[in-house]
Structure 1
Amino acid sequence: MSPDKLLPKRPYLFRALYDWIIDNELTPQIVVNASRHGVNVPREYVKDEQIILNIAPHAVGQFVMNNEAIEFNARFNGVMQAIYIPMAAIEALYARENNEGLGFPPELYYEQQAINVAVEEAPSTQPKPKPAFKIVK
């Protein structure tokens, strides 16, 4: 199978490492590229286009993880917020206590997704037609 047809490795590696961190009673933290399309995080905590989030079970609620994204609720400065992070935006997962983890390299699958989104969102180069008005009596 050609490399551009393969599913991304990131969700599978993420789940395995997340489980390992939790099973060892450590604190899972993620580094998120907040500039990626679809990321919903509190912008006031973003620094240099990145945010580091604690995703331990006691720190988040309604945690959902699938091949496309992770989502959960978390409190920031006492305010509950819904967080959504596409897998493409997760740059690293590690244990806070010992920094054991993985940095995720760019994957062709996600780069192609980003190109497709950019093309879909690009403004049309065709001029807009002038509105046609009719006189109604």
Structure 2
Amino acid sequence: MNALESTSTRPYLIRALYDWCTDNGLTPYVAVQVDDTVQVPREYVKNGEIVLNISFDATSSLKLGNEFIEFKARFAGSAREIIVPVNRVIAIYARENGQGMAFPVPAAAALPGEEPQRPSPLSSVPAAGAPADTEAKIVQLVTPEAPAGSGTEPPKPPSGPRPALKRVK
């Protein structure tokens, strides 16, 4: 079996990071690029994306399958059935510290009546030795202010007297 015939690693990585978050008392969030294959409350979609809390406390009947993430959740007090194709998940991370993983962004498709979606700040580069058109990609977060490889240095701390801690008895 070669790499093109194997199943996607995305659902396995999502489950692993979900387990890591819950094992460490963190809240797992998934960022989803919404199109007509995603069943979520459309009133909460912003710029073609939605972020969902998939913690045990926020969901009911959570199933992290190889093809779909399915669960029930409440939005403004109303119970909703959520179905997200795994290939539409663009990131999974812990709310408390932002640690997690981003995935290649699927091709954007505008919903009827919506404007075409803006490019996400997530950009992908092929993994070493992988063809550029395969799903095996490494994703890097790139901020608009400092693109990757721009050679900019991190900000320097402010100069002046150092703050001191005063002991009060």
Moved over 6 A (4+): none
Matches within 5 A, 1:1-137: 1-35=1-35, 37-105=36-104, 108=134
Q: Give RMSD over aligned pairs.
A: 1.5
Bigger RCO (CA 8 Å, 6+ sep): 1
1:66-116 Cα shifts (integer Å, max 9, x gaps): 11111000010111000000100100000000000000125846xxxxxxx
Q: CA offsets per residue over residues 26-63 of structure 1, 9 Å max, x none?
A: 0000000112x521000000001000010110001111
Give 5+ residue unaligned stretches, structure 2: 106-132, 136-169
Cα distance in 2 for partners of 1:17, 1:28 equals: 8
For these two proteins, the number of residue pairs brought into alignment is: 108
Query: Which runs of 5 or more structure 1 residues have no equivalent in the other structure?
Result: 110-137
Q: Provide the TM-score with structure 1 as the length reference.
A: 0.74
Q: When the two structures are superposed, what TM-score results if normalisation uses the length of structure 2?
A: 0.61
How many angstroms apart in 2 are the aligned matches of 1:98 and 1:65?
A: 22
Secondary structure of the 2:17 match is: helix
Q: Which amino acid in structure 2 is aligned with residue 24 of structure 1?
A: N
Greater share of residues in helix:
1
